[in-house]
Amino acid sequence: MNAISRAALLAVTVMSANAAHAQSLTLEEAIEQSVSSSPQGAATAARIEGLNAARAAADTKPAATIEGSIENIGTSGFNEFQIDGTYNQRLERGGKRLARIELAESEIGIAQAEALVRRLDLARQVQELYVETQAAALDLELARSRVEIAAALQSEVQRRVDGARDPLFAGTRARTELAEAEVDLELADHALDAAKVRLGLLTGVDPAELAVVTEGFLEMETPDIDLRELPSIDLALYEARRERANANYRLQQAYSRTDPTVYAGPRVFGSGDVAVVAGFSLPLPNRALNRANIDRATAEQRQVEADLAVERFQRQRDVALAAERVEEARHEAEAIQSRVIPSAEQTLREVRAGYNRGGSTFL
């Protein structure tokens, strides 16, 4: 998911919720319903539960073992046999247990970050469909206005044609424009229904009962925040992966130290004598294997750091490009609103006045 979309989602959600109508579905409500009706929550909970179990398993020491042996069986002197029983315990060194716990906890952090990314991806989809539905609703209103204007104009032109003040083709042209406006109205109505169906699929709301807030759609205020300063969940995900790489590096370093095994127990002789035996064993380290595992963990750290740097660079570039596009669109909208629309309205008033006086014809 694009980091700019998530930053914009935060701003749009906050500002759009204030424009809610009692009978309409706000953007915030649409997002809440889509998240609550999605099975993502159950899947995430099951994954986190499994990782918590893995964390509990990591926080355990090596299991002890009991060994027994019998020697000198079948010899000429039956009383020369001996029976050994020992209790064996491996002792971990180098902080292996703590390193395993940290690695398991980093896996939980990654799972939580990925779950949040999926929820925000779903919220982004809902936001896009919600805005699409808002635009379709406004297009429908404009199409209805066009039909009303075209119908009134056609009636007036027909009156002038009947009075021989305009040629016959003027009436034909007016009827054609009315038909075109009616077709556009049908298309706009279908587009709104289709947008509601798509939005309803994510929110679980019946499209026939779905309505969105359109008040203030064209009056979006500039958020009093710097989008570049907003936290990015994408960066948080990469940071969680970095923590996992660091934990894996520490675990591989801990594995470079071998673990001794101590044992003790009784020894029973055939003569009835009893002795105590004790000792320890220490595996020899495989230095080449340990070095290879540490090098692999180090390479993973470098890769995660590089991915994090790329994500930060991409996010800064996307923010700059998005801010420039927004500013360009704002300038265009302000120019149209302050210069083009007043001039067009004045022209329309003058044309209507001249047309009503008979000084103009419908061409």
Domain containing 232 equals 3-65+93-257+302-357
Contact 49, 243 (CB under 8 A): no
Q: Around Cβ 304, how many Cβ atoms within 10 Å? A: 19
Residue 87 φ/ψ, nearest 5 degrees: -105, 125
Q: What is the pLDDT of residue 78?
A: 58
Each residue's pLDDT tens digit, 219-240: 656 655 555 555 667 788 888 9
Each residue's pLDDT tens digit, 110-149: 999 999 989 988 998 999 999 899 989 988 988 898 888 8
Residue 354 binned pLDDT confidence (cut-offs 50, 70, 90): low
Instruction: Give the Cα-Cα-Cα angle 268, 273, 276 (nearest 5 degrees).
Output: 55
Select the more confidently predicted residue: 18 or 169.
Answer: 169
Residue 11 binned pLDDT confidence (cut-offs 50, 70, 90): very low
Is 332 within a domain? yes
Nearest to 238 by CA among 310, 316, 299: 310
Is 22 within a domain? yes
CATH of the domain at 143: 1.20.1600.10
Distance CA 261, CA 88 (A): 7
Distance CA 264, CA 280 (A): 9
Give me the sheet containing 274-281, strands edge to edge: 65-71, 82-90, 261-269, 274-281
Nearest to 71 by CA among 85, 61, 58, 50: 85
Is 100 within a domain? yes
Contact 328, 273 (CB under 8 A): no
Is 23 within a domain? yes
Q: Tokens 């470098």 — which residue? A: 302
Q: Around Cβ 271, how many Cβ atoms within 10 Å? A: 11
Select the more confidently predicted residue: 20 or 321.
Answer: 321
From the centroid of its chain, how far is CA 244? 20
Q: What is the pLDDT of residue 353?
A: 72
Is the pLDDT reported for residue 282 higher than 70? yes
Q: What is the pLDDT of residue 22?
A: 37
Q: Around Cβ 251, how many Cβ atoms within 10 Å? A: 22
Q: How many domains does the chain have?
A: 1
Each residue's pLDDT tens digit, 86-117: 999 999 998 999 999 999 999 999 999 999 98
Is 107 within a domain? yes
From the centroid of its chain, how far is CA 90? 45
- pTM of this prediction exceeds 0.75: no
Is 81 within a domain? no
Q: What is the pLDDT of residue 110?
A: 93
Q: What is the pLDDT of residue 12?
A: 39
Is 362 within a domain? no
Q: What is the pLDDT of residue 8?
A: 39
CA atoms within 13 A on the CB side of 316: 5
Q: What is the pLDDT of residue 221?
A: 61
Is 245 within a domain? yes
Instruction: Give the Cα-Cα-Cα angle 139, 329, 234 (nearest 5 degrees).
Output: 100
